[in-house]
Amino acid sequence: MRPLATAASMAAMDKDTMENFGLPGRILMETAGRESARIISDNFPLRKKSVLVLCGTGNNGGDGWVAARYLLGWGWDIHVLLAGPPEKLSPESRINKTLYEKAGGRVFMAEDAAALKGPEQALFRADLFVDALFGIGLDRPVQGFYAGLMERVKESGGAVVSLDIPSGIHADTGAIQGKALKASHTITFGFAKPGLLLEPGRSHSGKIHVVDIGIPEVISQKYPPRVEQVTKKWAAAQLPKRSAASHKGHFGHLLLVAGAPATRGAAVLAATGALRSGCGLISLAVPETSLPLPGILPEIMVQGLKGDGKGFSSQATENLLPLLAGKSLAAAGPGMGTGKTAAAMLRILLESPLPLVLDADALNLLAQHGDLMDLLSCKKEACVLTPHPGEMARLCGMSVQAVQEDRIRAARDFAMEKDCHLLLKGAATITATPQGLCRIITEGNPGMATGGSGDVLCGIIAGLMAQGKPADTAAPLGAFLHGMAADHLAEKQGPQGYLPSEVAAVLPEIFKSITTGSAWKS
């Protein structure tokens, strides 16, 4: 796992390092600026071209002054634009501005929109802009003079490198605060920030470079991360292991309840995802009116329960009870239906001693029936819910916009309140545990935005849990494998037109690639 730092935790680590460890803030700033200059020099062969460093009055601007001084010393054509009143410079920024000027650096002042129309206009013909306007502490909309300044940078067409975070992006949520710069590279300090991985911040950050600025480990250990990024190394270590003496009974028996007649393909896709994840045995319970199932793999055991033309009939609840015996786990939802019988079947599953994975219709049933939601909160066995933003909004009783504005908070608050594990799908999937630990999965691409993708993911997670993986591992691991398989197909075939069934089919290749380090074959 890659630890991520929120704005608050990063500020606390900085303060603790300076006040209690005794490492001066100027040294942290010097390291940040020097390493930023090195990365800029390594990535942009622009020594003979023009670079404009945009410095705000806070400590993010201080990082910019240091970077400008180093680039100047290395022979770069550097100008610095101080955006804001000089009297508002932070103490560290003031010192580093003076050092830059002593080194022969050129400084231009701009405090209002009128200043951008004067002689300083020529500065915006720069080939590269270094963004040191606002750091991770920004918590208000960018407007007025600063919004105009960002617009001038955008109009120039020059490349942008942002220090710590693109100005205008919220460090914790990735939201645009009024207006934001779009960088081709972001050099972030200490730890990556969640907002760099969450949209729209992710699309504004370009390539992310994480710089060690010298926060001592004894300090960082005092602030365990509440948000992490799933990595390939972690995923490889978590994959279920198989000994030479293994048999199917060692890898779990999943009961999947799904597949009303109109959506029976969802049941097939979920079962296929579970099978491809390595699950030992899969029993798929569908309404008998859904049979035969198109495309069902012969390895999947299909149980036809009493049904009618719309889905499960009332007698199906009696059929379901015997199927619970001997199962490691149950999953429900894909194409299950939302009628009275489906609600009764979900109640049986929630009252059973089996861990659960709930998706699609099962989530809508929870949102519609408060008594089922109460059962979820009281259930001792692990439950994983896998909503997309619309389903999440219904579960929480809030708008989709509110969910998307702070996806981490929405996922964490629900998981902690309902004592469950939650996976919020979307661009950068988020998982949350009942203890409030969140993981971000950046694997995946827009080609996954097609019906059936979520069904496959539900099956993968259920299959991993059936094999003994705890919910707090199976959810992020399943999302990582699902996204990586989709990325493989996008690289091989293009970013659109591949199918969810194909994502499931390439999972064995993904297992091999992350455990052996081998490259995919085209």
List the binding residues for K(+).
60, 131, 167
Structure tokens at 400: 């989709």
C-beta atoms surrounding 443 within 10 Å = 21
Starting at the edge strand found earlier in the chain, the sheet holding 227-229 runs 2-4, 227-229, 438-441, 429-432, 421-424, 383-385, 356-358, 329-332, 253-257, 281-287, 301-305
Q: Which helix (H) or strand (E) holds 286?
A: strand 281-287
SS3 percent helix, strand, coil of the chain, rounded to 5, is 50, 15, 35
Question: Do residues 72 and 40 lie in contact, with contact meaning Cβ atoms separated by under 8 Å?
Answer: no
Phi first, then psi: give them for residue 449, nearest 5 degrees.
-80, 70
In 3D, which of 470, 438, 444, 469 has the Cα closest to residue 456? 444
> Which residues are part of a known binding site for (6S)-NADPHX?
59-63, 135-141, 146, 164, 266, 335, 388, 455
CA 132, CA 57: separation in Å to the nearest integer?
9
Q: In which residue are the tokens 């806070």 written?
A: 58
Say how far residue 216 (Cα) sits from the centre of its chain. Answer: 27
> Which residues are part of a known binding site?
59-63, 131, 135-141, 146, 164, 167, 266, 335, 388, 425-429, 454-455
Q: What is the DSSP letter of 240?
A: P
Question: Do residues 472 and 421 lie in contact, with contact meaning Cβ atoms separated by under 8 Å?
Answer: yes
Structure tokens at 161: 């490198």
Burial 463-490 (b: 16+ CB within 10 A, else e): bbbbbebebbbbbbbbbbbbbbbbbbbb
In 3D, which of 318, 267, 315, 316 has the Cα closest to residue 293? 267
Angle, CA of 24, 27 and 29, to the nearest 5°: 110
**332 bridge partner residues:** 257, 358
In 3D, which of 200, 158, 199, 204 has the Cα closest to residue 185? 204
> Which residues are part of a known binding site for AMP?
425-429, 454
CA distances from 194 to 34, 172, 225, 408, 510 (A): 24, 5, 11, 9, 26
**DSSP string for 321-357:** HHHTTT-SEEEE-TT---SHHHHHHHHHHHHSSS-EE
Residue 178 burial by Cβ neighbours in a 10 Å radius (0-12, 13-18, 19+): middle
CA 298, CA 25: separation in Å to the nearest integer?
64
- What is the rounded radius of gyration, in angstroms, for the C-alpha atoms of the chain? 27
In 3D, which of 190, 175, 225 has the Cα closest to residue 428? 175
